[in-house]
Structure 1
Amino acid sequence: MTSDGPVYRAPREWTRLHAVSPLLGGWAVLGIVLAYVIHQRLPDWVAGDEGGWDFFDQFPLLGLIIAAALGFAATLAISVWQWRRTEFRIGDDAVYLRHGIVTQQQRQARLDRLQAVDVVQPLLARLFGFAALSVQVAGGEGSSVELKFLRLGDAEALRNEILYLAAGLRSGEAPPAPAGGEDDAGGAGASSLRDLAADRARAFERPEDVLTGRERVRTAVAAAEEREVYRVPFGRLVLSTLFSGPAVFVVLAPLTGILATVFLKIDVLGGVLAAIGTSLFAIIGALGALLGFFWTRINGGFGFTAALSADGLRLRHGLMETRRQTVPPGRVQAIRLHQPLLWRGQDWWRITLNVAGYGATDEAVSVLHPVATREEALTAVWLVLPDLGEPDPYGTLGYALHGTGAEGGFLASPERARRLDPFQWRFRGVRATERALLIRRGRWSRELMIVPHERTQSLGLTQGPLRRSLRLANVEVHSTAGPVTPVAAHLDLDDAIALLDAQAARAGEGRRRQTPEQWMTAVGLAPAAPAGPSASSAPSAPEGDPHG
């Protein structure tokens, strides 16, 4: 379907953000003013204190409106000034941003270090057809570039061209043919990408309509075709949230209070009322954090969809704030599969990632699957690590998820580790495949961490006094900041030293073998391949899981 609307293009000259940006970003001050007034006045209102004469006592609503208006006007003035001093453009090698009110600064996000590109639409921006573009690159804290706000079509066009250039292609260029056979191009994972990238090199030759939410926009650089791999049902998302630890706390806390009052004669209600009377904001903060957990899980997992494209892994999710993430191949630093105790009956798993650029506090955007069945979990691992380096990768992952001891070739903790870790020592294990290191742990709440060898940042061996007395040690695999912290704990000291040396060698070999940053050029996706499959078809996972 072709639209008659404008064709959106990424700007090559210095360009300002959209003029509506100061308005979209200025509304947060209203919440700040409201929070300040509540913090100052709520204790007196709760206590019924009418003492003190000030403007807010006489005209509370009018005073609040005036304070909010003054705050918004001041914020808007600063935002407009900042908007006039902010410009961006794209080049063949980087996205450039210059900004600053007093001191002008220029930053660049190198496309050969690209980690992820996100198109984010907060509720207000989504209502009026705007979006923010976040370009995450490797390089430490503050290395990313965020553009707030652009028209949705401009954001899509900029994202498409960034991903195209980051793959190592240029305008009018075709990627080279593979130097060898299919194995040289990266195996089955690269083959799937090759199918999807059949006409990727011709992206500059024609506009393409892109369906984004409610509207269809035309971008000068075509987006890569994609295959949807999985979609999270809303019912499963809600049920998994209700089976989480905070939900259990909400149910058990009142029951525990009643039992303590009836059988132990403890005045639980009096204690709660005393706590509310003396520390109202502590209670409000705790309730806010508890409700925030549920809201974050529902909002972040709503409509969660994963798809595979030549540009990389595409994730879409969000209720109030929608986010469309694109993570190019090979950018995932570590994977974590976690199964809480109450999820074991359904065999559900939550999968998170370490992606350089997102940071340690961005777990909400580091989710690969909010609640996966085991089949979906194995497929999700395949999406980010197509080649595990095993003849039976799904069998190996089956032992990693549900095995104990030395099952599946894992190196387990020795029996003397029982003295330090009586409940889960038997469930700890580590195994290295040709392409990645697998670390499992957890008896009731299970966990599996996967680190590609070439993504190992550094290694460490640690011993406390108790572990030293038992000749045990931990091997720490240092990754980029994120929700995954890989540690193989309570290993025999000799095994830990051998693992440390072997993993250092594997990491070095992996870095020598890894493809260049411009991944499409490296794998040699051929432009003359037949047209890719439709977006509705999804890759199927290999069979052979012994725990299926």
Structure 2
Amino acid sequence: MPEHDVDPGRSAFDDLGPDSPETLEWRRVHPITPLVRGWAVVGAAVVILGQQSLEGGPRGGLLALVSSEYWWTLLAALAAVALVGWGYSALAWRMTTFAVGAETVHLRRGILFRQQRHARLDRLQSVDIRQPLVARFFGLCELTLETAGGTDSGVAIGFLKGADADELRAELLARAAGLKVGGTRQVADAAQAPSDAVIDGAVPEGTEQVAAAQDAGQSVQPVRAASLEAPQVPVLTVPLGRLIASVVRSGAMITLLLWALGVVVVMIVTGEFAVISASLPAVLGAGGYLFNRLTGEFDFRVAISPDGVRLRHGMLETRSQTIPPGRVQAVRLVQSLLWRDRDWWRVQVNVAGYGGESEEKNSVLLPVGTREEALTVLSLVLPDLGVDEPRRVLDAGLDGDSRAESAYVTAPRRTRILDPVAWRRNGFTVTGRALLLRRGRVVKVLDVVPHERTQSLAVSQGPWQRRLGVASFQVHSTEGPVHPEVPHLEASDAALLMTEQARRARTARAAAGPERWMERQGE
């Protein structure tokens, strides 16, 4: 590799082209941030001290300790922990700065070990605004940028005032779309400028239009980033009654009720009440999952805007997500047996950058909805299936279970030995824009993968499958809840699908639009 002279007074992060730190405007998050983050330390301390007091304190537990002459030691311990927690948070706030460049977002943080993170805007997958319960009292939000780099590849900027977070999100989405904003952003007078000179209050990358407007004597004025906030059109809202009913009808709720019934029966038969305490962790785990499901998907709203699909939900912690166009890697429509009579469906997505702890919260496009609502949400992320009768193809994927359907290539009859319940539903079809994979009867699943989002393909064959001449086909997507696959296909069908899908994926990626979707082709 060629060697370059490096100024010893500069770091490797300083050689970043147009986004050099020397040319960036570094900003701090809101000064109340230490107070918001410090509460987590104080809350953890209260729980730990309470547990220790109950287990090792004097007779009578925590109440006896509080009423004793040493009550002040408990308060002193809490005060010391609070001071340390808030002091550390204040120092962390002092060492945290962020900046928005023409192509990347930068975040500097760390006390003992300094860390600088960069998020490329042309690889931006989604922009989320998170508002925890404590932050809500101060009107603060945390902005999270998820990029196409897998788990923990995002950049979290927090906390900011709500209006500042909205303004920053609008600016980032505009830059990610290919619009010139920020310090160099200028807009020609709309009354005199050409019709294509203004795009939502900004101009595309490059300043040719601004220069032409100035040469023609037209006025050019700076515009605030707030003017870039794209209007949104509400699509649907999930009613609270339906959400509660869906949670009650979930497998987790049924499992919890059966477990509780079994505990009661065992307690009556054995006469031992200790079985209740032994089963308490499992009950709390299932109950916590149901509670998080209900509070996390509370007041779920879906809207569409020029900068992508917007989702808003949450009771204790409010989340506002914006998924830019074309960033969804795969979509799953799933229906459990208990939802069958209502024809309810749940829609989940894979988005690059989501995963890990955020997978369940951020990967839901519709928690529960009718078939019409599920297909409407699907059309927001994949407007064109590339087929003349998309509804017929989708209905066959959601309901169909017959080999007589010409739209889907299904598993052969001999696979009923391997899958006696759902073998008729296992199948796939290909449209001009996507690959559709269906499976399951007790829990119906339809996976939709745009051709250009195909990561890799695989065909697997176990010993019994080899004996029957069948194989399973998988599409490898980014990390998330959607794992597209279809089991027990004819081996020749699976091999042909793998070859043809690889060719379709290459062709679709070559014809795909720019990562910055507002840039015009050919510029």
The TM tier, using the shorter chain, reads 0.7 to 0.9
User: Aligned to 1:227, which of 233, 239, 249?
Assistant: 233
User: Aligned to 1:341, which of 330, 334, 337?
Assistant: 337
| Cα RMSD for the two superposed structures | 3.0
Letter in 2 for 1:224: A
Q: Distance in 1 between matches of 2:327 and 2:221?
A: 28
Percent identity reads 44
- Distance apart, 1:381 and its partner CA: 0.6
Contact 1:206 1:222 (C-alpha < 8 Å) held by counterparts = no
Q: Any idea what SS the aligned residue of 2:178 has?
A: coil
Q: Distance in 2 between matches of 1:144 and 1:397?
A: 34
Is it true that 1:25 corresponds to 2:37 in the alignment? yes
Query: Where does residue 99 of structure 2 map in the other structure?
Result: 89
Query: Where does residue 114 of structure 1 map in the other structure?
Result: 124
- Distance apart, 1:513 and its partner CA: 1.2
Q: Distance in 2 between matches of 1:133 and 1:100?
A: 18
Comparing 416-425 with 249-258, greater Cα deviation is found at 249-258
Letter in 2 for 1:351: V
Query: Where does residue 364 of structure 1 map in the other structure?
Result: 361
Query: Where does residue 325 of structure 2 map in the other structure?
Result: 329
Is it true that 1:100 corresponds to 2:97 in the alignment? no
Question: For the structure 1 residues 21 and 267, does the alpha-carbon distance in structure 2 shift closer, same or farther, using more than 3 Å as the test?
Answer: closer
Query: Where does residue 433 of structure 2 map in the other structure?
Result: 435
Q: Distance in 2 between matches of 1:268 and 1:430?
A: 51
- Distance apart, 1:174 and its partner CA: 8.1
Q: Any idea what SS the aligned residue of 2:273 has?
A: helix
Contact 1:174 1:202 (C-alpha < 8 Å) held by counterparts = yes
Question: For the structure 1 residues 329 and 224, does the alpha-carbon distance in structure 2 shift closer, same or farther, using more than 3 Å as the test?
Answer: same
User: Aligned to 1:381, which of 374, 378, 394?
Assistant: 378
Give CA-to-partner distance per residue, 1:217-270, whole Å, 9 cap, x none.
Answer: xx5443001111111111111111111112223433444566xx5xxxx65564
Question: For the structure 1 residues 89 and 414, does the alpha-carbon distance in structure 2 shift closer, same or farther, using more than 3 Å as the test?
Answer: same
Contact 1:17 1:149 (C-alpha < 8 Å) held by counterparts = yes
Query: Where does residue 417 of structure 1 map in the other structure?
Result: 415
- Distance apart, 1:367 and its partner CA: 0.8
- Distance apart, 1:495 and its partner CA: 1.1
- Distance apart, 1:405 and its partner CA: 3.0
Question: For the structure 1 residues 337 and 373, does the alpha-carbon distance in structure 2 shift closer, same or farther, using more than 3 Å as the test?
Answer: same
Q: Distance in 2 between matches of 1:75 and 1:425?
A: 57
Q: Distance in 2 between matches of 1:453 and 1:32?
A: 47
Question: For the structure 1 residues 65 and 287, does the alpha-carbon distance in structure 2 shift closer, same or farther, using more than 3 Å as the test?
Answer: farther
User: Aligned to 1:155, which of 152, 162, 165?
Assistant: 165
Q: Distance in 2 between matches of 1:402 and 1:358?
A: 30
Give CA-to-partner distance per residue, 1:417-457, whole Å, 9 cap, x none.
Answer: 11111111111111111111111111121111111111111
Question: For the structure 1 residues 60 and 507, does the alpha-carbon distance in structure 2 shift closer, same or farther, using more than 3 Å as the test?
Answer: farther
Contact 1:93 1:111 (C-alpha < 8 Å) held by counterparts = yes
Is it true that 1:243 corresponds to 2:249 in the alignment? yes
Query: Where does residue 7 of structure 2 map in the other structure?
Result: none
Query: Where does residue 135 of structure 1 map in the other structure?
Result: 145
- Distance apart, 1:494 and its partner CA: 1.1
Letter in 2 for 1:373: T
Letter in 1 for 2:45: V
Task: Give the gaps of 5 or more residues in structure 2.
Answer: 1-22, 189-197, 205-219
Question: For the structure 1 residues 498 and 43, does the alpha-carbon distance in structure 2 shift closer, same or farther, using more than 3 Å as the test?
Answer: farther
Question: For the structure 1 residues 18 and 144, does the alpha-carbon distance in structure 2 shift closer, same or farther, using more than 3 Å as the test?
Answer: same
- Distance apart, 1:55 and its partner CA: 7.2
In the TM superposition, 1:31-42 aligns within 5 A as: 31-40=43-52, 42=54
Q: Distance in 2 between matches of 1:41 and 1:469?
A: 64
Contact 2:422 2:441 (C-alpha < 8 Å) held by counterparts = yes
Task: Give the gaps of 5 or more residues in structure 1.
Answer: 1-10, 176-196, 209-218, 526-548
In the TM superposition, 1:190-209 aligns within 5 A as: 199-201=200-202
Q: Distance in 2 between matches of 1:289 and 1:60?
A: 36
Question: For the structure 1 residues 102 and 296, does the alpha-carbon distance in structure 2 shift closer, same or farther, using more than 3 Å as the test?
Answer: same
Question: For the structure 1 residues 27 and 285, does the alpha-carbon distance in structure 2 shift closer, same or farther, using more than 3 Å as the test?
Answer: farther
Query: Where does residue 215 of structure 2 map in the other structure?
Result: none
TM-score (norm 1): 0.80
Query: Where does residue 403 of structure 1 map in the other structure?
Result: 400
- Distance apart, 1:154 and its partner CA: 1.4
Q: Distance in 1 between matches of 2:75 and 2:344?
A: 48
Q: Distance in 2 between matches of 1:141 and 1:249?
A: 31
Q: Any idea what SS the aligned residue of 2:384 has?
A: coil
TM-score (norm 2): 0.83
User: Aligned to 1:16, which of 24, 28, 36?
Assistant: 28
Question: For the structure 1 residues 287 and 251, does the alpha-carbon distance in structure 2 shift closer, same or farther, using more than 3 Å as the test?
Answer: closer
Query: Where does residue 488 of structure 1 map in the other structure?
Result: 486
Contact 2:263 2:275 (C-alpha < 8 Å) held by counterparts = no
Aligned residues, how many?
Answer: 472
Letter in 2 for 1:167: A
Letter in 1 for 2:292: T
Q: Distance in 1 between matches of 2:466 and 2:518?
A: 48
Q: Any idea what SS the aligned residue of 1:425 has?
A: coil
Q: Distance in 2 between matches of 1:335 and 1:142?
A: 22
Q: Distance in 2 between matches of 1:308 and 1:524?
A: 27
User: Aligned to 1:303, which of 299, 305, 309?
Assistant: 299
Q: Any idea what SS the aligned residue of 2:354 has?
A: coil
User: Aligned to 1:353, which of 346, 349, 360?
Assistant: 349
Is it true that 1:315 corresponds to 2:321 in the alignment? no
Question: For the structure 1 residues 131 and 408, does the alpha-carbon distance in structure 2 shift closer, same or farther, using more than 3 Å as the test?
Answer: farther
- Distance apart, 1:313 and its partner CA: 0.7
Question: For the structure 1 residues 487 and 396, does the alpha-carbon distance in structure 2 shift closer, same or farther, using more than 3 Å as the test?
Answer: same
Question: For the structure 1 residues 298 and 272, does the alpha-carbon distance in structure 2 shift closer, same or farther, using more than 3 Å as the test?
Answer: farther
Q: Distance in 1 between matches of 2:74 and 2:480?
A: 40
